[in-house]
Amino acid sequence: DAGVIQSPRHEVTEMGQEVTLRCKPISGHDYLFWYRQTMMRGLELLIYFNNNVPIDDSGMPEDRFSAKMPNASFSTLKIQPSEPRDSAVYFCASSLIYHYGYTFGSGTRLTVV
């Protein structure tokens, strides 16, 4: 199994631009999670899906952030418009059953200048 795959690994964009981060979960995993990691706040849960349906998006910081999961093998996290304070590492994780272990992707390092 290739694990959780995220793309791109690095993204540098200018303030105001739209950014789309992508994630392919492990095949067969029913749960998908988006996390953000910063030095100040550590790892924060943004949103998670169960069977492609968003369950809890209370961690999404603003309306500028949106996430979709059109099918079981693909999810996107979009920021529009991006701001410098969105600079962080964004992780995607998946789980077969949420109270079992989570497998994390390698992350996307986003820099907004």
Partner 1 sequence: KQEVTQIPAALSVPEGENLVLNCSFTDSAIYNLQWFRQDPGKGLTSLLLIQSSQREQTSGRLNASLDKSSGRSTLYIAASQPGDSATYLCAVLHRSSSGNTGKLIFGQGTTLQVKP
At closest approach, how far in Å is the CB of 51 from partner 1? Answer: 13
Sheet holding 65-71, edge to edge: 5-7, 19-24, 74-79, 65-71
Bridge partners of residue 34, in order along the sequence: 47, 92
- Give the HSE-up count for residue 43: Cα atoms under 13 Å, Cβ half-sphere: 8
Bridge partners of residue 19, in order along the sequence: 79
Work out whether 12 is an interface residue with partner 1 (CB under 8 A): no
Work out whether 5 is an interface residue with partner 1 (CB under 8 A): no
By CB under 8 A, name the one of 14, 15, 18, 56 that touches partner 1: 56
- Distance CA(26)–CA(113), nearest Å, equals 32
At closest approach, how far in Å is the CB of 81 from partner 1? Answer: 27
Do 38 and 28 meet the contact criterion of CB atoms below 8 Å apart? no
At closest approach, how far in Å is the CB of 70 from partner 1? Answer: 22
By CB under 8 A, name the one of 29, 65, 107, 112 that touches partner 1: 107
Work out whether 7 is an interface residue with partner 1 (CB under 8 A): no
Q: Which residues bind partner 1 (CB under 8 A)?
A: 33, 42-43, 45, 48, 55-56, 91, 93, 98-107, 109
